[in-house]
């Protein structure tokens, strides 16, 4: 039995954009903001955008291979863990601290829980569709996301100074 891969995008996009818009419309604007990048880093921004688009478009054409194997079940669990983490990160992102930092909820354990959720969700999608090409795109996406995260950290250091430095010392970048 097969199911269209595009169905994997529906809950993800609803949580990532719909839930955030329902909770706090202003947070949607903040979530769409990319930290300034140095001129020699701009290519990473475009790699991030292209890899994201490639992942989303590819899933529209791939099929989930329902096989009732251990790989299928692990992939489903990974996908739902990613969705749950994404929902928690979105809820917490909607309510930053008074300084503007996101240090509440899952942000107490990871400085980038939303990105971690994307990594889990897209990895699960590659496993569920059993697509090596999609798996390769996920690796490129993770690499590009890391570059975006480094730029965000630099911007946060400039914007929030000591408060962000203390946060960095307390909380890991990913997990």
pLDDT digits (tens, 9 = 90+) for 63-80: 998 998 999 999 999 999
> Is the distance from CB of 154 to CB of 68 less than 8 angstroms?
no
pLDDT band of 99, cuts 50, 70, 90: confident
pLDDT band of 96, cuts 50, 70, 90: confident
pTM across the whole model:
0.95
Q: How far apart are CA 14 and CA 11, in angstroms?
A: 5
Q: What's the token pair of residue 146?
A: 């890391």
Supply the DSSP string of 27-66, one letter for each residue.
Answer: HHHHHH------GGGHHHHHHHHHHHHHHHHHHHH-EEE-
Q: How far apart are CA 117 and CA 81, in angstroms?
A: 8
Q: What is the pLDDT of residue 132?
A: 98
Lowest-confidence pick of 8-12, 97-101, 115-119: 97-101
pLDDT band of 100, cuts 50, 70, 90: confident
The residue assigned the tokens 């949607």 is 28
Q: Are strands 63-65 and 2-4 parallel, antiparallel or unpaired?
A: antiparallel
Q: How far apart are CA 154 and CA 151, in angstroms?
A: 5
Q: How far apart are CA 92 and CA 104, in angstroms?
A: 6
């Amino acid at each position: 039995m097969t199911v269209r891969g595009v169905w994997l995008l529906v809950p993800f996009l609803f949580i990532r954009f719909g839930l955030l818009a329902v909770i706090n419309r202003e947070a949607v604007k903040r979530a769409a903001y990319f930290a300034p990048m140095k001129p020699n880093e701009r290519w990473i921004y475009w790699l991030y955008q292209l890899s994201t688009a490639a992942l989303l478009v590819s899933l529209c054409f791939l099929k989930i291979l329902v096989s009732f194997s251990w790989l299928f079940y692990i992939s489903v669990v990974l996908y739902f863990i990613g969705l749950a983490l994404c929902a928690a990160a979105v809820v917490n992102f909607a309510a930053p601290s008074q300084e503007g930092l996101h240090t509440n909820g899952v942000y107490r354990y990871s400085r980038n829980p939303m990105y971690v959720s994307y990594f889990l969700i897209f990895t699960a999608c590659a496993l569920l569709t059993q697509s090596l090409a999609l798996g390769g795109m996920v690796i490129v996406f993770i690499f590009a996301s890391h570059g975006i995260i480094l730029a965000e950290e630099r911007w946060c250091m400039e914007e929030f100074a000591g408060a962000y430095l203390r946060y960095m010392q307390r909380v890991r970048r990913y997990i």
